[in-house]
Amino acid sequence: MIFYLFRHGETYFSKNHLQYGDKNDLAEILPEAIPQIKEIAKILKSEKINIIYSSPIKRCVQTVTIIQKEIPTIKIIFDQRLEEEKVTRHLETFKNQTERTLEILNEIKSKNYEKVGICSHGWPLAVMIRLLKGKKVNRLSLINYPKCGEVIIIETK
C-alpha cells in the first residue's frame, strides 16, 4: 500500500506558527493556500488515487473539497481519528493520540487499497509517518511533520 500524507492548506495560524487555541475547529485556509492544494491534487491525480481519508475539521474539509473539485471522481471519507491533536489542550494524552492514529492506520490497511491519501494535521501526521516507517513514536517525533502543501509518500509492505 502506498500512503500519500498531506497536511491541510495553510492557515493564518500555521503561517505565523501560532497555536489554534479555541479557534481549532474554525480556522480556515488562506486564499494563497489554494494553489498549493491544487498542486497536491495534481500529484494525487497523476498517481491515480481514488480515495482520501480526512480529518473533519474545517481546514481539512476545505482542503479536500478543493482537491475533489480537481478530481471529481475521488472519494472522501471523514474520520474523527484524524483530527488535530488534543494533547496541548489536555483533552487526550500522547498515548491516546498515538493509539487513535494507529487504529485508523490499521483500519485503512485492512481495506487493501493500492494507494490512499490522508489529509490531517501536524502532530497526527508526524505520528503516522513514524508508525508507517516502523519506527518508535515519542514526543520528539512530533516536531517532524509536513509543511502545508507538502506530500509525504510512504510505501508499506
Percent of the chain whose predicted confidence (pLDDT) is above 90 = 71
Q: Over 80: is that where the pLDDT of 24 sits? A: no
Taking only the tens place, the pLDDT of each residue in 138-156 is: 888 888 888 998 999 999 9
Higher-confidence position of 119 and 23: 119
* C-beta of residue 53 within 8 angstroms of C-beta of residue 116: yes
96 DSSP assignment: H
Mean pLDDT of 89-112: 92
Q: Residue 153: which of 121, 124, 128 has the closest Cα? A: 128
Residue positions counted in the chain:
157
Give the Cα separation of 143 and 140 in Å (integer): 6
Q: What is the pTM of this model?
A: 0.94
> Backbone phi, then psi, for 91, in 5-degree steps?
-100, -10
Phi, psi of 118 (to 5 degrees): -135, 120
CA distance 102 to 98: 6
Exposed / middle / buried, residue 71 (Cβ in 10 Å: 0-12, 13-18, 19+): middle
In this structure, the strands spanning 51-54 and 75-78 are: parallel
pLDDT digits (tens, 9 = 90+) for 43-97: 999 999 989 999 999 999 999 999 999 999 999 999 999 998 888 888 898 899 9
2-155: CATH number: 3.40.50.1240
Residue 51 has what pLDDT? 97
Q: Can you give the residue ranges of every domain in the chain?
A: 2-155
Question: What is the pLDDT of the chain when averaged over all its residues?
Answer: 92
Specify whether the CB–CB gap between 119 and 54 falls below 8 A: yes
